[in-house]
Structure 1
Amino acid sequence: MKNNIQNNKKIKFNIQGLTRLNEDACYKKINNKTILKSGNYSVKSYKNNDCAVPNVENISLKHPSFFYRDGYGWVSNNGCVVDNDSKLRNSRNLTNLNSIHQLKERLHKTTPFLINKDKSIPKETNLLHSESTLLKRPCNTLSGITIDRFIPQIPVLKENIQNPRNLIQEINNKNWIRGGQPSRQYIKTKEYLNKCIN
């Protein structure tokens, strides 16, 4: 009889306790940190407030597809290099007043120079910035003269140039189907007839 008697010691009976993985204290702590990171990312300012942003410029120069902008115009953040900008714009020591020199930029900014042989800068400069030989009509020897280039059409061309048979498919061929001939249907019909005949 003693073996059949249950042990009636008082034990703590936990029911509906917080035992799931997402109720663990360590998990809650890590989860809250993760949520805070995404929130901080959306409100964080990644703008570099240094004057002329040297670190950002170095990163951008190492990677040709990264473009950066430090402020608006040429005066950097909060106008910190406005004096340098004014010196370059207002001084005459860097400007050739006799002629305008325009430097052409690359067609594709991220593509390197792809010519196989060595680059000849004088020849390329003469080719890119060659002298214009265009003579405008007011200064030309033909100013005030009109050259009539009308040539009458030959009869065959005159009769057929606006002939709707040459332009509209439905007039040229009554069996014409818009979108092309149903080639798949032709093949299926041919296969069907071959099977039926044989």
Structure 2
Amino acid sequence: MATVKDYVFDKMTRIGNDTCGLSQMNVQNINAGNYMVQNFFSSDCTMARPIELATSQPGIFFEGGHQTGAGGCNIDINSQLLNGSMSTHPRCKISLNERPFITVPYLGRGECNPLLESKLIQGDVTINKRSVNLLSEQCYSNYLNYPLIPSIASTVTNPSNLIEGVASDGWIRGGIPSREMSREKAYASCNYSQGQN
């Protein structure tokens, strides 16, 4: 049968855009899919012949329908097994054992004092790490102004016990220069006097 086409230039010319090629590809895909899912034992609802074929050949597996056969031919047997005397899914509401405690216990706090709670949560800012501070709420004036023992008071007020320069006349801050000591010792061994040239 002849077809009339509109010959418009600059159209898509790939094989995937050809309507004839697409229709033929669809036909081949449908036929291949039908062949893969074809049931050759659709008239046999008992799965006896498929099981016989699958067990007689290596590498052939079978899978029956879930609860019912093809076309629902064994629906009566399935309903009898499901809802019969040994019912696994009873048609009535299942009554479970009642809980020993109907509800959970009351977990509320009861009456509260928001001002006291906020003070307890926020607390005081304690930056000072020392134990003697104003936040300890104790008076330390007795220990601060307590007179010292006379022997300790005399040693604390004596500057020779605290200042090195007062304790020793030849004391040099930072220590004695060791290079000068070795140089003076070497000059002394040469009978060199410091005042001569």
Q: Fold conserved (TM > 0.5)?
A: no
State the TM-score, normalizing by the size of structure 2: 0.23
Q: Which has the larger radius of gyration?
A: 2
Give the TM-score normalised by the residue count of structure 1. Answer: 0.23
Q: Which has the higher contact order (CA 8 A, sep 6+)?
A: 1
